[in-house]
Amino acid sequence: MSLKTARILAAAYHLLMLYFVTWPGILPFAKAEPLILGLPFTMAWIAGWIAGSVIVLTLLDRVEKRFRVVEGGDD
Amino acid sequence: MEQWVVVTIVITLYLALTLTIGLLAGRRQTDSVAGYVAADRSFGLLVMYFVTGASVFSAFAFLGGPGWAYSRGAAAFYILAYGALGMAPFYWIGPKVASLGRKHGFVTQAQLITGRFPSRNLSGLIALLSLIAFVPYVTLQMRGAGIVIEAVTDGNVPIWLGSAVAYGIVIAYVLSAGAMAVGWTNTFQGIFMVLIAWSLGLYLPHALYGGIGEMFTQIIAERPELLAPPGLTASGEPWSWGAYSTFILVSAVGLMMWPHLFMKAFTAKDDDTLRRTVILFPTFQLFLIPVFLIGFSGVLFPGSPPSSDFILPFMILETELPALVVGLFCAGALSASMSTGDALLHASASVVVEDGVQQFVDLNEHTQRRLMQGLVLLTGAIAYIFAQDPDSSLVLLLASAYGIIAQFAPPVVAALYWKRATTTGVIAGLIAGAATAFFFWQSPELKPFDMHEGIVGLMVHIPVLIGVSLATPPQSQLHLERFFD
């Protein structure tokens, strides 16, 4: 994957996250039930997006590092 | 021995340990301004991770978070949502800021902004706005420390004395050692907080309700309105989506603009350390889950604390745990307060001297350091006076401060990414945005769609910045080349 694609995908993930945790994107998921792993639905929904953020940023860092090694600089 | 005596002994030992770590850490850094403010740019991943996490998760998360879950239910989820959103952009901004810092010798946020937009007045304005935002934030931490100590000692140590002792210690090590002390005490306190939060957050629902799912099933049956998003207001009415969404937005925009967090970009050893910290940061965010569980476990519990911010110490005391365990839990909550308070005091003094005073009077390094130390004391004293007000809510104190701090985002973004931005444009935008936020904070009934005043401020700020920049002559090519490679 190219560096640019990886960055766009990571940014897109966080924009989607913003949409889905605030109004109006959150509306279909704004409910207490069903409980997920014992947590109210909305709470689990937001926690899921946070966990996704760790994964997306980790993958992005892998791609970035490959390119930094090629360029040989730290910027 | 009475329980509160054992608890007090445990807390005293804990405070002594924190003080020792803080004082020892200071022996490892040089006696310069770069040493005091940026710890000689030497922090590795472990320290950076906990410094960032521990300074974000403060009494706000540890006491205010459970307080909101307990009294306002689903409204508390806003606190969960904004952290990851606010931190992610720093993956790109952070290393860029760090490289400019190394190149031009910047140690504060205002130096970065005025490096691009040279103006003493702009620097002074940023210093002033930072200070205004810092005072409620420090106040919140001190009140938090006082609340914990008063609650666990059965009122034998009142808030005024508890907050004075806890912050006396913080001030002692911030004065003597600066950034290095803040780094090492936060590492220690961060580890402590995570352990405490998870063990208590999982223990309480099981002990009281037989499980987390069980607890929520019972809450849904008895208080369905509490868990229906976006939760309740302080008076128990349903909260609005406008407020819920803009609270997330303003906190996400403002999060990394806090000078004490922004300055982390200058303390990191290298860019990889900084990026790794950003990636790991959301793991700290998940630590809010057990913290909320502590608050929710109080909902159906008989009896209630004097105010919702007391729910965490209240639950600890009501569940009849051994005194030693209670002491350790309270030390965890104190850590949360102190680990943010120290970073705040340190940053506010650095900012006021470097970006405010130093712009107008020329001081040598030694005098600068002395003046910073004096300001740590002064800010501490002002916040201490405000902390005695019994009517303040911990979460609302911070949410108001965010209205100001979010106004730093457009200047930072413009400095780093928009070549056409001008000094006049940035100053005009900052004044317009801050004035708007202040106006709607004063007159909340006028806010459109119940939006957070900081977001209304940004809606005025950004067009003014762009409009005035385009109406004024662009910066010289030579100046821009120094900033953009």
Q: Do B282 and A53 touch (CB under 8 A)?
A: yes
Q: Per-residue pLDDT for A49 more than 90?
A: yes
Q: What is the mean pLDDT of chain A?
A: 86
Domains delineated in chain B: 3-402 (1.20.1730.10)
Q: In A, which residues are within 8 Å of B286 by CB distance?
A: 47, 50-51
Q: Provide the pLDDT for residue B42.
A: 58
Non-local CB neighbours of B44 within 8 Å, separated by 6+ positions: B269, B273
Kindly indicate the confidence band of residue A71, based on its pLDDT and cuts at 50, 70 and 90: low
> Taking CA atoms, what residue in A is nearest to B242?
A23
> Taking CA atoms, what residue in A is nearest to B98?
A75
Q: Provide the pLDDT for residue A72.
A: 47
Q: In A, which residues are within 8 Å of B213 by CB distance?
A: 35, 37-38
Nearest CB neighbour to B286, from listed A7, A38, A50: A50
Q: Provide the pLDDT for residue A74.
A: 46
Task: State how far Cα B71 lies from the chain centre.
Answer: 22
SS3 B80: helix
pTM of the prediction?
0.86
Which long-range contacts (C-beta less than 8 Å, at least 24 apart) are formed by B20-23?
B21/B181, B21/B184, B21/B185, B21/B188, B22/B169, B22/B172, B22/B173, B22/B174, B22/B176, B22/B177, B22/B181, B22/B184, B22/B185, B22/B342, B23/B172, B23/B173, B23/B176, B23/B177, B23/B181
Q: Do A51 and B282 touch (CB under 8 A)?
A: yes
Q: Is B68 on the interface with A (CB under 8 A)?
A: no
Q: Provide the pLDDT for residue B464.
A: 96
Using the Cα atoms of residue B63, residue B66, residue B72 and residue B76 in order, give the sign of their dihedral: positive
The residues facing B268 across adjacent strands are B43
What is the C-alpha to C-alpha distance for residues B381 and B397, in angstroms, rounded to an integer? 17
Written as one letter, the residue type at B421 is A
Chunk chain B into consecutive blocks of 10 residues (it has 485) and report each block's average pLDDT, rounded to whole numbers: 80 81 67 58 69 71 87 92 88 88 87 92 91 86 86 84 86 70 72 80 91 94 91 88 92 87 79 83 85 92 85 82 78 76 83 84 81 85 85 73 91 94 95 92 85 93 96 92 82
First CA to last CA across chain A, in angstroms? 19
Q: In A, which residues are within 8 Å of B77 by CB distance?
A: 42-43, 46
Nearest CA to B154 out of B370, B283, B4 is that of B4
Beta carbons of B429 and B471 less than 8 angstroms apart: no
Q: Provide the pLDDT for residue A21.
A: 92
Q: How far is B280 from chain A (nearest CA, A)?
A: 7
Q: How many residues does chain A have?
A: 75
Q: Is B242 on the interface with A (CB under 8 A)?
A: yes
C-alpha Rg value of chain A to the nearest Å: 16
Q: Provide the pLDDT for residue B10.
A: 85
Q: Provide the pLDDT for residue B179.
A: 62
Q: What is the interface pTM, i.e. ipTM, of the complex? A: 0.89
> Taking CA atoms, what residue in B is nearest to A29?
B229
